[in-house]
């Protein structure tokens, strides 16, 4: 039974997250329906991470086991044909060893968050970025972000419904860059807690607005208390960019 590794991009706006839901549309559900349409079997598509409702992906990774072997290009194209008109595209399909697990074989995940720093309403970016009208100091945000690098207890930046066994994570990268009116936050780690990226971004925006200093961010981290967190950024600005194996 061949195992296929899928690299997927999607617009998360129409979906209630990655994970299959009983009555609500999900990315995983749409993919599994496409697999069934192509193979005739009810098969589980295993993802590298469960993105929340409204979160997008440029490089989500999944795997699925099928009974019949298809040439990888044909499998990719067949899935894409059955995925229409969903805003989901299988970018690559490849046959991998049975030992490959989309979730557990991953060694690093890369996310990007888009903030559009403008007084004007969004037009082309609506649903795909967070509009923040107040002027932000990206340099101050970047300097403060470095306080979060390394291994920490990230309870403060953890959703109350997070099911991870431990709040300790090692953050390898958290960079803030301005490009015109857009501010990009790039972060990488082996894994993240539920809502960790959005919570960190929201707190960094408070730094950019001057409401917090870098010391305030450090104090929030040290508090290990969800109530110490700043605002949580909305999901529409968040993108899963790549998963390393």
Question: Token digits for 170?
Answer: 């090692």
Q: Please tell me whether 111 is known to bind a ligand.
A: yes
Q: How many other β-carbons are positioned within 10 Å of the β-carbon of residue 224?
A: 14
Q: How far apart are CA 183 and CA 194, in angstroms?
A: 23
pLDDT in tens, 193-228: 999 999 999 999 999 999 999 999 999 999 999 999
What pLDDT, on the 0 to 100 scale, is given for residue 161? 84
* Alpha carbon distance 35, 77 (integer Å): 11
118 and 228 inside one domain: yes
Q: The domain containing residue 223 runs over which residues?
A: 108-244
What is the predicted pLDDT for the residue at 148? Answer: 98
CB 122 within 8 A of CB 116: yes
11, 22, 42, 52: which one is catalytic? Answer: 52
**Domain annotation covers residue 14:** yes
* Per-residue pLDDT, 45: 98
DSSP-based helix, strand, coil % in the chain, nearest 5: 30, 30, 45
Q: What angle do CA 73, 77, 83 make, to 5 degrees?
A: 145
- Would you state the pLDDT for residue 160? 85
- Say if residues 190 and 48 touch (Cβ distance below 8 Å): no
Q: What is the pLDDT of residue 20?
A: 94
pLDDT in tens, 41-71: 999 999 999 899 999 999 999 999 999 999 9
Are 116 and 230 in the same domain? yes
Q: For residue 137, indicate whether it is catalytic.
A: no
For 119, the token pair is: 């007084």
Q: What is the 3-state secondary structure (H, E, C) of 152-167?
A: EECHHHCCCCCCCCCC
**123 Cβ contact partners less than 8 Å away, ≥ 6 residues apart:** none
CATH of the domain at 60: 3.30.70.580
Phi first, then psi: give them for residue 177, nearest 5 degrees: -135, 140
Sign, CA dihedral 125-145-12-98, equals: positive
Residue where one domain finishes, among candidates 28, 61, 96: 96
CATH number for the domain spanning 133: value is 3.30.70.660
Assess whether 16 and 137 both reside in one domain. no
Report how many domains make up the chain.
2
In 3D space, the residue among 90, 10, 15, 17 whose CA is nearest the CA of residue 51 turns out to be 17
Burial profile 164-195: b = 16 or more Cβ within 10 angstroms, e = fewer: eeebebebeebebebeeeebbbebbbeebbbb
Query: Does residue 102 lie in a domain region?
Result: no
Q: pLDDT value at position 226?
A: 92
Residues of the chain with pLDDT under 50: none
């Amino acid at each position: 039974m061949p195992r296929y590794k899928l690299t997927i991009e999607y617009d998360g706006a129409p979906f209630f997250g990655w994970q299959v839901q009983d009555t609500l549309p999900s990315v995983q559900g749409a993919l599994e329906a496409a697999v069934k349409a192509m193979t005739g079997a009810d098969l589980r598509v295993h993802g590298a991470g469960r993105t929340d409702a409204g979160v997008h992906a440029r490089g989500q990774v999944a795997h699925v086991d099928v009974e019949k072997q298809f040439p990888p290009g044909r499998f990719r194209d067949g899935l894409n044909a059955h995925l229409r008109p969903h805003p989901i595209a299988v970018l690559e399909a490849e046959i991998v060893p049975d030992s490959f697990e989309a979730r557990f074989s991953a060694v690093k995940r890369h996310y990007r968050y888009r903030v559009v720093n403008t007084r004007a309403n969004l037009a082309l970016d609506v649903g795909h970025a967070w509009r923040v009208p107040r002027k932000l100091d990206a340099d101050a945000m970047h300097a403060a972000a470095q306080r979060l690098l390394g291994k920490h207890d990230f309870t403060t930046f953890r959703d109350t419904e997070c099911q991870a066994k431990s709040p300790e994570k090692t953050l390898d990268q958290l960079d803030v860059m301005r490009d015109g009116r857009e501010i990009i936050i790039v972060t990488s780690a082996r894994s993240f807690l539920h809502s960790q990226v959005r919570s960190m971004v929201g707190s960094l925006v408070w730094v950019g607005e001057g409401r917090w200093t870098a010391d305030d961010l450090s104090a929030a981290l040290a508090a290990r208390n969800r109530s110490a967190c700043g605002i949580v950024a909305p999901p529409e600005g968040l993108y899963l960019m790549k998963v390393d194996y």
